[in-house]
Structure 1
Amino acid sequence: MTERFSYTLNATDGRARTGVINTPRGDIRTPAFMPVGTAATVKAMMPESVRATGADILLGNTYHLMLRPTAERIDRLGGLHKFMNWDRPILTDSGGFQVMSLAELRKLTEEGVTFKSHIDGSKHHLTPERSMEIQKLLGSDIVMCFDECPALPASDEDVRKSMELSMRWAQRSRDAFGDRPGHALFGIQQGGVTEELRGISAEKLREIEFDGYAVGGLAVGEGQEAMFGVLDYAPDMLPKDKPRYLMGVGKPDDIVGAVARGIDMMDCVLPSRSGRTGQAWTRRGQVNIKNARHSDDPRPLDEACTCPACSNYSRAYLNHVFRSHEMISGMLITWHNLHYYQELMQGMRDAISAGTFEAFQAEFHATRAMGDIEPL
C-alpha cells in the first residue's frame, strides 16, 4: 500500500492509455469509471454492492454535502469514508458546477460565488479557499480545484473571461490546498470548444502544477460531435505522466470515444439515474424495461451479464416491479447498469494492454448497432 499519490502508465494503443493511480486507500485501474455518490450514497446501492461491480473509486458532491449534512458534521463523525462506509478512494468535485446549475440567485465576483441553497434558500459563500476547506473536512483522496463552468453555447468573450477567472481560482486553490501527502489536487482545463483558449488554460495549469488534470466544461449541452472535437486535441495539451479526467461523461459510446482520445477517468450519474427510471444499458444498447414487450419475457436483460439482475431475474419480473413502483426495481437495474459500465472499462483496459483497442471499438459499435434482442 502506497503512502503517496502517484500514476503509472502501463500501456498505450493509439491515444488510448491504461495504467494505475496509486493512493493510500487503494489502486485505481485506468481507464476508470467513477460512480457518483452525490449525497454520500450511490442511489439504490449498498457500498459493498458498488465495489462488487468493480468500482475502485466513487465521486462525492461538495455542493450537496456542504448544504446537507454539512462538511463540519461529516468531519466530526470521522470523515466521508467512515460516514458512508466506503474505505476506498473518493474524489470530490469543487461545487462550482452545481452552484452554476442548481443554486438560485447566485452572484459571481472575483472572490467567489454567493448563492442561495436549492434546499431551503439559506445563503452561502463559496470561494476557492472555502472549497478546499470543505473537501479537506470531507477527507476525500482526490480534490478538485474550484472553477467556473459556463453553460454552452456562450460567446467567445464570455468563455475567455470565465476561463481566465478559473485559472486565477486554480492558483488560489493550489495555495489553499497546501501540502497534504497522500491526497491529490486536480486542476481543471476550461476554454469551451475553442482550441486556443484550451491551450492557454492547459499552459497555466501546467505552470501551477497539479497531481492530475481534468478536461472541464464539456458534456454541458454542446453535443457529442463538438465534445469529441475538443477531445481530439485537449488531452494532449495536458501532461502525459498525470491522470486525465473528463468530468460528467457519459453514455457508453461517449466513454469509449473519450478513452480512444486519451482520457483516463470519467464520472456520470447516468447508470444510476437510468436505473431508477427503468432504463437498462446493455452491450446491445438501451433497454426500456417499462415497455409492454417485456411483460411476458422470461429471458434476462442480457444473457452474457453476470450481475444479480441478469443472473436471477427475468425481464418480465423487472417489468412488473418497475410498473408496481417497487424499490427493488431501481436497485436491480442500477446494479446491472453499474456492472455493465465496469465491465466496459475492464474490456477497454484489457484491449489497450493487448494492443487490440481498435478491434474492441469496432465490436462495441457493431454489437450496439444490432439493437435489443427480438421480442418473443
Structure 2
Amino acid sequence: MQRFEILDKDAMGRICRIETPHGRIETPTILPVINPNIPFIRAEEMKKFGAQAVITNSYIIYRSMREEALEKGVHGILETDMPVMTDSGSYQLMVYGDVEIKNSEIVEFQRHIGSDIIVPLDIPTPPDADYATAESDLRITLEREREAKELLKGAENLLAVPVQGSTHPDLRRFAAGEARKIGGDIYPIGAVVPLMDAYRFRDLARVILEVRSALPVEPIHLFGCGHPMLFAMAVALGCDLFDSAAYALYAKDDRYLTVYGTKKLSELNYFPCKCPVCSNHDPEELRRMEKNERERLIAEHNLYVSFQEIETIKQAIKENSLFELVEKRVRAHPNMLAGWRQVKHYWELLEKADPKMKRKFLYTGIDSLYRPAVRRHVKAIKNVELPEEVLVSTDFGIYANIYLRPVFGPVPAEMLETYPAGHAEIPEEDVVEEEALKAASEALMELMNSHPEKRFKVYVSKVWMKHLQNLPPNGELNVLS
C-alpha cells in the first residue's frame, strides 16, 4: 500500500497524505495530546477544531488500564475512530530517568491495542548533553528501533523512528541517516521541547535542518511542538506533523495562544480572534468564570487558533507564498528570526526542495534575499548572451540591455516578464533596505567579472552610488539626473 504521497510543495514545506489503518492524515497537521486518565477535551471532540488524528501515551495506558486497553483497543478507550499515534514512555524516561518496561514490551503492547503509529522506547537526550552521553544514548535508541522494526514485521501499524542526538549536528544527521536505513513510516525529531521552552530557535532550526538533510523526502514529526507561532517556520524547514498538550497546559495557567506569541488573560482587554470562543465572550467574562469553565474555553481557543494557522500554512503552500508567510511570522520574536536565518547555511537543501516556478515574488524584507529564487536568478543570468557593449540602467524608461533591480541585481530585458525578477513586487529603491541594494550591486559586479571582454555602461540613481563605487575595470558608472 502507498502510505505516503506528496501533493504540493513550497520552500521545504509540503502538503502530504499519510495512510493509516484508521484513515488518512493530510499534513501539515497537529496531533493533540489526549491523556486517557484525565478527560479534558475528548478525542472525538477534536474533530470540530480540525484534528485528523490524536496522540496518547501508551506507557500511561499500560500502567493504569492495561487489561481494558487490551480488550477495547486504544480507539475504544479514547472513543474515537480517528488515527491514534501512541508514544512509548520516552517522555517519562526523560523526566524520571527510568520506566518499568522494556522496549519490546511497549512496542508489542502498542501493536496489540491497535495503535496506528507506534513509537519505540527511544532515549531522549536533552540539549547540551556531552558528546559521549549523546552518542551512547543514540546507540541504544537505534538498537531499540531496529528491534521494533523486527517485531512489527507484517503488521499494518505504522512505525515512527525517532531521531535523537541532543544538540550535536553531526549526531542528528547520523541518527537520521541510520533511521532511514531502518525504514520507518514517520521520523519524529525528539528531545527538542527544552529548546522551544528556552526560545532557542536557532538551535531548533539547526537540528531540523540537519535531520532534513539526511531525510530529504520522508515525513518528519516535530515532537512536543504545539505553539502556533512556530508552525509556519517549522513547516518551511521541512516538518510535517506536530503534537503537543500546549493547548491544555497553557489554558490551565490562563495563557492565550496567538500566532504572534502568548498572552495572559489578565492582560487582555479585547480578543484578537473571531473563533467561536472569542466571538461569544470577552476577556472580562472569562476572568469572572469558574476556573474549570475558563480553562476549557481557553483550551478550545488555543485549539482553534492552532488549527487555523495550519490551514493558513496549507493555503500558503498551495499559493507558493510560504516564504512570505514565514518572513512575517518569524518577526514575532527576535530568536525566531535568528532561527529562520539558519537557512542561509543550507542553500543546497533549500534549493532542491523549493519549486522552481511560482506565480510571484513578494518582497517582505531582507530575509527575502535568502530565497532560492534569488540565488537561481543570479546563476541564470551568467548564461545570458550579451552584446559587446552592455547598457545597464535602474530607470525602466530608458532602453537598456539590462535593468538593475533591488534584491535580484541585473535583469536582462528579455527576463522582465518572467519569474522571479519579472514577477517581483519590491518597494521603490529609495525605501528598500540597504542590504537589498548591496546584494543587487554585488550580483551586477559578479556578472561583469564573469564577462571581462564586455564593456558595461551603468546608469543608476544616486541611492545606488555607494554600492557601485568599485566597479570592475570593464565598467563605466554614470548617475541619472
Please, which runs of 5 or more residues in structure 2 have no aligned partner? 335-481
1:151 aligns with 2:164: no
Q: Indicate the percent of aligned positions where both proteins have the same amino acid.
A: 22
> C-alpha distance in 2, partners of 1:46/1:73?
18
Aligned position for 1:66: 62
Higher helix residue share: 2
Matches within 5 A, 1:12-161: 12-39=9-36, 43-70=39-66, 72-76=67-71, 78-102=72-96, 106=98, 115=99, 124=100, 126-161=101-136
Q: Is the 8 A contact 1:47 1:85 kept in 2?
A: yes
- Size of the aligned set, in residue pairs, is 331
- Which of 317, 329, 338 is 2:285 aligned to? 317
- The Cα shift of 1:11 comes to 1.4
Aligned position for 1:246: 222
Q: Is the 8 A contact 1:188 1:213 kept in 2?
A: yes
> C-alpha distance in 2, partners of 1:262/1:225?
15
Q: Is the 8 A contact 2:229 2:259 kept in 1?
A: no
The RMSD of aligned alpha carbons is 2.1
1:167 aligns with 2:142: yes
* SS at 2:125 equivalent: coil
1:281 aligns with 2:257: yes
Task: Check 1:155–1:74 CA distance in 2 against 1; reply closer, same or farther (3 A cut).
Answer: same
Normalised by the size of structure 2, how large is the TM-score?
A: 0.65
The amino acid across from 2:262 in the alignment is Q
- Which of 195, 198, 208 is 1:231 aligned to? 208
- Which of 210, 213, 218 is 2:187 aligned to? 213
Task: Check 1:49–1:144 CA distance in 2 against 1; reply closer, same or farther (3 A cut).
Answer: same
Task: Check 1:345–1:167 CA distance in 2 against 1; reply closer, same or farther (3 A cut).
Answer: same
The amino acid across from 1:196 in the alignment is D
> C-alpha distance in 2, partners of 1:254/1:363?
12
- The Cα shift of 1:54 comes to 0.2
1:196 aligns with 2:152: no
Aligned position for 2:364: none
- The Cα shift of 1:179 comes to 1.4
> C-alpha distance in 1, partners of 2:35/2:231?
20
- The Cα shift of 1:149 comes to 1.1
- The Cα shift of 1:131 comes to 1.4
Note the alpha carbon deviations across 1:68-93, whole angstroms, 9 max, x for none: 122x32121x2111222111101011
* SS at 2:115 equivalent: coil
Which range moved further: 155-164 or 208-217?
208-217
Normalised by the size of structure 1, how large is the TM-score?
A: 0.82
Note the alpha carbon deviations across 1:290-345, whole angstroms, 9 max, x for none: x2x55xx5x5x234x223x1122121111111xx42x2111111011011111111
> C-alpha distance in 2, partners of 1:99/1:26?
30
Please, which runs of 5 or more residues in structure 1 have no aligned partner? 107-114, 116-123, 370-376
- Which of 324, 329, 332 is 2:297 aligned to? 332
Task: Check 1:206–1:232 CA distance in 2 against 1; reply closer, same or farther (3 A cut).
Answer: closer
The amino acid across from 1:302 in the alignment is P
Q: Is the 8 A contact 2:120 2:161 kept in 1?
A: yes
Q: Is the 8 A contact 1:193 1:230 kept in 2?
A: yes
The amino acid across from 1:169 in the alignment is R
